[in-house]
Amino acid sequence: MKTSLTYLTCLTCLLFIKPPQALSAPSVLTYKYGEQAFDVRPSGYPRWKTVERTYSFRGVPVVLPPERTTPGKIPQGVEVHEEIIWNREAIRETLESVIAAKINHDRGTVRISRTPEGNIAFDGAGFPGRKVESALAAELTLLALEKDIGIIWLPVVETPPIVLIEDETLKTQGISELVTMGESDFTGSPANRKHNIGIGLSKFNGHLIAQGEEFSFNAVLGAVNSREGYRKELTILGERTIPDFGGGLCQVSTTAYRGVWKAGFPILKRRNHSFAVIYYYPPGTDATIYSPIDMSFQNDSPGSLLIQTLTEGNKAYFFYYGTPRTNRTVELIGPFTWDVTKPPEDRTMYTTEIPPGETRIVSKAVPGMRAMWYRSLTDSTGTETFEPFFSFYEARPNIEEIGVSPDDPRLVKEIAPDRSGEER
């Protein structure tokens, strides 16, 4: 960070000189923080820039009267020069409202104890303090715009939470501080989906993972049905997206996965969704589940891991408390995306699942793509290992189903669905 600050100080001096700048700039700027990514289109913020025109004749600067600066009125032989002047303060304000507001968080305090019945209890939550240095981020943005660079790593000041362990047994198991945190955003989810996310998260709150244990998401989650309180919400069943109990639980598995993935824990099982889902941006950071599809990892930390789960606003969180590994540093590099394909043509299907004449949309068009992340693991000797994480997302068409009678000749013979292909 010191090197960056020194370089940016020199950059600031140059910016005041306002050297000529090309009119081309990245159409999209991607701001990275851990596994999170935020896309900003400069064209959507007209206050970011102004275009200054200057004139010269045979290399000598000239000043034209306003009435001679419009097209067709510029004297013959006069050259027109354009340069972009970027508004640093307008950029900073945008980053504050669009990105920093989603990252910044006050440092939390959590008190972990046991109830008289022996259950683990949490008072508060172990949120790490986070503060985007928006002024520095604006300077990096200026540099990216001038050099036509599309990716910016956000400067964020982090402060560890205060974790108070009041149970002696947990202390002996190595529960002492926040090891990692997974988070995801479910903004826009319907009521039933939010309800299912809340129930799913509750299944993991207070769960202990012993040192060396292989954690299975499905094993802890348990049954998913109406008896457990789940409601019907959209799930992916083959090429259709239809309501079933527990729709939205992949938000929980994705949140759990992101925390251990970015902390460097060995990932034993993980599968991406069959198509890209808006709730799991950026691509390649999701983990779908539906038995036998599972998300699992190994706890290779020095002690046990204790999970706390909760929602705050439209965000889901997994906190993992324990003893961090001090001999491993982790960096996530990505996402790299390619093979973007257009959705197939719209389709119509016929079914007896709904009354004759009724219609329903069972698939919405979405493009396909491939995505990859590298996870860099560096041990205490400085040896670096790169782990690739691939995701393949299918292109999906718009599919409308029309209800028909069982003897309708348009009806394709219905086969019982293979539930192993379902995703929540």
The model's pLDDT over 243-260, given as tens digits with 9 standing for 90+, comes to 899 999 999 999 999 999
* 305 and 179 Cβ atoms separated by less than 8 Å: yes
Q: Using CA atoms of 283, 287, 288, 289 in order, give the dihedral in degrees to the nearest 10.
A: 180
3-state SS of 302-320 is: CCCEEEEEEEECCEEEEEE
Quick one: pLDDT at residue 2? 37
* 86 and 48 Cβ atoms separated by less than 8 Å: yes
Q: 345-380: b or e for each residue (b if 16 or more CB lie within 10 Å)?
A: eeeebbbeeeeeeeeeebbeebebbbbbbebeeeee
* 294 and 269 Cβ atoms separated by less than 8 Å: yes
Query: Which amino acid is residue 10, in one-letter code?
Result: C
pLDDT tens figures, 357-374: 999 999 999 999 999 999
* 87 and 95 Cβ atoms separated by less than 8 Å: no
What are the φ and ψ backbone dihedral angles of 142, each rounded to 5 degrees?
A: -60, -45
Nearest to 237 by CA among 362, 416, 398, 421: 421
Quick one: pLDDT at residue 134? 97
Residue with tokens 């782990």, as numbered in its chain: 387
- Who's near 143: CB < 8 A, 6+ residues apart? 8, 11, 149
Provide the CB-side half-sphere exposure for 132 (13 A, CA).
Answer: 26
Quick one: pLDDT at residue 421? 54
Evaluate the CA torsion angle 11, 14, 15, 16 in order and state its sign: positive
Quick one: pLDDT at residue 133? 98
Residues pairing with 404 in the sheet: none
**Extended beta strands in 232-343, E state:** 232-237, 240-245, 267-269, 296-298, 305-312, 315-322, 328-341
From residue 32, alpha-carbon distances to 79, 111, 341, 385 in Å are: 41, 32, 25, 21
Say if residue 21's pLDDT is above 80.
no
Measured distance CA(230)–CA(249) in Å, rounded: 10
Tokens of 195: 């309800």
Nearest to 143 by CA among 239, 14, 257: 14
Whole-model pTM? Answer: 0.86
Say if residue 18's pLDDT is above 50.
no
Proportion of the chain above pLDDT 70, given as a percent: 92
pLDDT confidence of 422, banded at 50, 70, 90? low
26, containing H or E segment: none
Please compute the mean of the pLDDT values over residues 284-293 and round it to a whole number: 94
Tokens of 206: 């207070």
Tell me the DSSP string of 338-350.
EEEEPPPPPEEEE
Residue with tokens 């989906």, as numbered in its chain: 193
pLDDT confidence of 19, banded at 50, 70, 90? very low
- The three-class DSSP label of residue 159 is strand
Measured distance CA(68)–CA(17) in Å, rounded: 27
Query: Which amino acid is residue 377, in one-letter code?
Result: L
Say if residue 224's pLDDT is above 80.
yes
Please compute the mean of the pLDDT values over residues 190-216 and round it to a whole number: 98
